Amino acid sequence: MSRRARALPTQTLEVTRFELSCGATLLVTPRPGAPVFAVDVHLRGGPSLDRPGLEGTSYLVGGLASEGTQRHDEEQLAALLEPAGGELSGDSSGLNGCIEASQWKLLLKVCGEVLTTPTFPTAQVRRQQQRLLQRLQIEAADPRRRGANRFRAMIYGDHWLGRPAYGSRESVAKIEPRHLRAYHARNWVACRGVIAVCGDVAPEAVRDELERCLRRWPLGRPLVKTPAVFPEPRAEVVVVPAERQQAHLYLGHLGIRRADPDYATLVVLDHVLGQGPGFTNRVGRILRDELGLAYTVSAGITPSAGLLPGTFTAYIGTSPDKVGTALRGFLHEMRRLQDELVPADELEVAKSYLVGSFAMGFERASRRASYLVSAEVHQLPPDNLEALPRAFAAVTPEDVQRVARAHLMPDACCVCAAGPVKRADLEAALAAR
């Protein structure tokens, strides 16, 4: 190994793994002296388990789990945590929280209670349901959100990934408290649970505390996975009409899984193309700065990579008369990565940023806990945090060109524009070489 490779800033997390007697997996990364203790609980399945016509159930279950249990109501739970600077919240995939380091047992106790005995009181359900319906109503009038939702539906078709995780106005309006209780009983079960914690704690002490807190958590049934079927990549154009001063353009196609062997190289490609910092990436520098088309512009294939394929997504908000120029610009930059080698100095900027900033992303305890969950779910290798910076640093111009040719599909992109845009203009831009 070269001296430069040894000097790369990397991150190492000491992790102790336990299988709790209830059936859940526990991952503990100690951090001596840390002022904050963090916990992240992941329940496998999430929005994929919403029943047809009741989309948004998993989102409401997570959001409402901490608003009342069999022992404490919403205000009593807050009174337990707030004096210690604690908080606990949820989403469609589980719970996460943090607290002052010395009070870690209190957080785990409350977390165990919320995990296993939420009651979903009718008043709180109705309140949260109305908030969500108001949000959906606002989004229905927002061209950017409408465009994003339509774009995902174009990529994923009838698959659940093609729908918002929080459902639609029609589906949310049908959800009753009994649906949330049934979903929780069926899907928030121990055998699907991954619990990660980070703090100034001994792993065995965390294990013992959770054994007490979760001793009555039902084992449940393992998640049954079904094959994912998506539409074939193709060139397609959709216009979402909206009388606004700005148009929102989305362009892209089906992406990659996190487990793809080209993942690290594609992260570097993304930072060259449209994910880099400041004004260094190509679409930012060219479409935003040189052509003056917009302030907000991005493109990338790795941010959405998961257990299932994400999307390659390019986005820009611009004036309606500039949409064709922006679309041609995106396609040109995709093809340029396939046809030309990235200059060494440009590539070095992207790699230096990635390598230099990598370790800084793990300063917070909550970030470390969420990483442990991600590593478990995606079955990342134990040395992943050390290997990734080295993989970034080793990427060559030829590597970027290879993955661009393998994974970018400029001739099979879905295009969705929301705003006062003409379909014919988009089709002409998409056909231009």
Summarize pLDDT for 114-134 with one digit per residue, the tens: 999 999 999 999 999 999 999
Contact indicator for 32, 200 with CB cutoff of 8 Å: yes
Looking at the domain assignment, is residue 390 inside a domain?
A: yes
User: Which string of b and e fits 70-79 if b means at least 16 CB within 10 Å?
Assistant: eebeeeebbe
Looking at the domain assignment, is residue 67 inside a domain?
A: yes
Statement to judge: residues 246 and 160 lie in one domain: no
Statement to judge: residues 197 and 327 lie in one domain: no
Percentages (nearest 5) of helix, strand, coil residues in the chain: 50, 15, 35
pLDDT for res 264: 98
Looking at the domain assignment, is residue 5 inside a domain?
A: no
Range of the domain at 389: 236-431
Looking at the domain assignment, is residue 231 inside a domain?
A: no
Statement to judge: residues 169 and 278 lie in one domain: no
- Say what the alpha-carbon torsion angle 183, 186, 192, 198 is, to the nearest 10 degrees: 50
Contact indicator for 239, 426 with CB cutoff of 8 Å: yes
* Surface-to-core class of residue 312, CB atoms within 10 Å of its CB (0-12 exposed, 13-18 middle, 19+ buried): buried
Local confidence band at 5 (pLDDT 50, 70, 90 cut-offs): very low
Using the structure block, give the residue that is written with the tokens 């589906």: 171
Question: Of 421, 232, 240, whose CA–CA distance to 323 is shortest?
Answer: 421
Show the tokens assigned to 188.
């928030």
* CATH code, domain carrying 269: 3.30.830.10
Tell me the pTM: 0.93
pLDDT tens across 266-324, in order? 999 999 999 977 667 999 989 988 888 877 899 999 999 999 999 999 999 999 999 99
Local confidence band at 4 (pLDDT 50, 70, 90 cut-offs): very low
Q: What is the DSSP string of 358-405?
A: HGGGG-SHHHHHHHHHHHHHTT--TTHHHHHHHHHHH--HHHHHHHHH
* Angle, CA 387 vertex, CA 385 and CA 388 arms, to 5°: 70
Statement to judge: residues 272 and 185 lie in one domain: no
What is the overall mean pLDDT for the chain? 94
How many separate domains does the chain show? 2
pLDDT tens across 377-402, in order? 999 999 999 999 999 999 999 999 99
Local confidence band at 168 (pLDDT 50, 70, 90 cut-offs): very high
Alpha helices in 165-244 (DSSP H): 169-174, 177-187, 203-213
Mean pLDDT across 9-23 = 91
Statement to judge: residues 49 and 176 lie in one domain: yes
Considering the chain, what percentage of its residues have pLDDT values greater than 90? 87
pLDDT at 359 over 90: no
Contact indicator for 369, 206 with CB cutoff of 8 Å: no
Statement to judge: residues 197 and 277 lie in one domain: no
Statement to judge: residues 187 and 291 lie in one domain: no
Q: Which of 180, 213, 246 is the C-terminal boundary of a domain?
A: 213
Using the structure block, give the residue that is written with the tokens 């007490």: 212
Statement to judge: residues 203 and 277 lie in one domain: no
pLDDT for res 150: 97
Contact indicator for 372, 27 with CB cutoff of 8 Å: yes
Q: How many residues does the chain have?
A: 433
- Say what the alpha-carbon torsion angle 130, 132, 134, 138 is, to the nearest 10 degrees: -170
